[in-house]
Amino acid sequence: MAAEASCSAGRLQAIRWESRQLVILNQTLLPHRSEYLKIRDTSAGHYSIATMQTRGAPAIAIVAALSLAAELHTHPKFDSNKAAHQHVYERLDYLGTSRPTAVNLFAAIRGLKQVADQALEENRDVCEAYIAAAEQMLADDIADNQAIGRHGAAFLGEGKTKVLTHCNTGALTTAGYGTALGIVRSMWEQGRLEQVVFTETRPYNQGSRLTSYELLTEQIPCRLICDSAVSALLQADPQVSAIIVGADRVAANGDTANKIGTYQLAISARFHNRKFIVAAPSTSIDLQMKSGKEIVIEERADREITSVKGVTYGSLLDERAVEVVQVAPLETKTWNPSFNVTPACLISAIVTERGVFVKRPGAEAFDLANDLKKL
């Protein structure tokens, strides 16, 4: 199913869950076409994550969870509660293969398995218990993101300022508000945002395709720059007070895996004496992972670097004008890591829905295990 996308009260909705039916905004078509796709089952959910029709660590977890909820709602009645429990386990394990670096996804899978376990033990309907838990995830994500926005805006202090962000971390990557862009939204709502500058985010252009789409839709003042222009911008414009990014996974010491290019932004922020802020839900923090050295980095296909997809200039309203253009010679070999790890020593603060974490005076790393216990 494809339908025209819309926004509610001026805000984009990348995930819709109504009458136990799931539809998502197909982000591979943005920014020139806006279509919703119906996700009927876990196969469709897995495909949407693996092909980046849906993206962003929080959104990935929610779409995975709700795809199984949609499947359970329409599935023929199971022979027994135990059979339903086994089906939930098998399909959650399958969904876990869609994006190996997304810690939120695996945290959700663990939590949803516990829900199924408890329902089976208490002789409650496993399917209904699972669906209710998945629906609660959606509501909680919006509330958590709004809290991240408030905490991050407060950390940046009073006064009007400019900030810079990388990749896309807003309503398109969450249930509807955003992490790094949640902070931007909160600042804008408070009248404290002069402008947000965003990178194109090669090679998949999440910034130029998605962040632009989101910010322009909500009429937030913004400007696009090349990835390679960040240091020049920080040197030229002292009003840019901070770089704010999201996270795919945060290790216990604060080392952070995020979209490729994040690491070099952190280096530039340190050199130019600007704050470098990571914004992520606490579910992105993996306390079992002591440092970023343990994070497995996904590598993607050569074609993402050697070619570019877009519409023919002057033909924006013609769906047939979407083309893939080969930029590099076909035989060109690439190294295309999807993420990189930013060392904790370069990060000023990690902002979560539970509060803002900073390093102890003189420390090079965070102590997130102890900090999380205090909040």
Q: Is 216 exposed, middle or buried (0-12, 13-18, 19+ CB in 10 A)?
A: exposed
Pull the structure tokens for residue 310: 């877009």
Q: Is 261 exposed, middle or buried (0-12, 13-18, 19+ CB in 10 A)?
A: buried
Quote the CA–CA distance of 227 and 332 in Å, as a whole number: 22
| Catalytic-residue membership of 248 | yes
Contact at 8 Å (CB) between 197 and 240? yes
DSSP category for residue 292: G
Pull the structure tokens for residue 321: 């004008």
178 phi/psi in degrees, rounded to 5: 120, 165
DSSP category for residue 50: H
Residue 208, C-beta contacts closer than 8 angstroms, at least 6 positions apart: 200, 201, 224
Residues 141, 227, 248, 286: which is the catalytic one?
A: 248
250 phi/psi in degrees, rounded to 5: -120, 125
- Catalytic residue set: 248
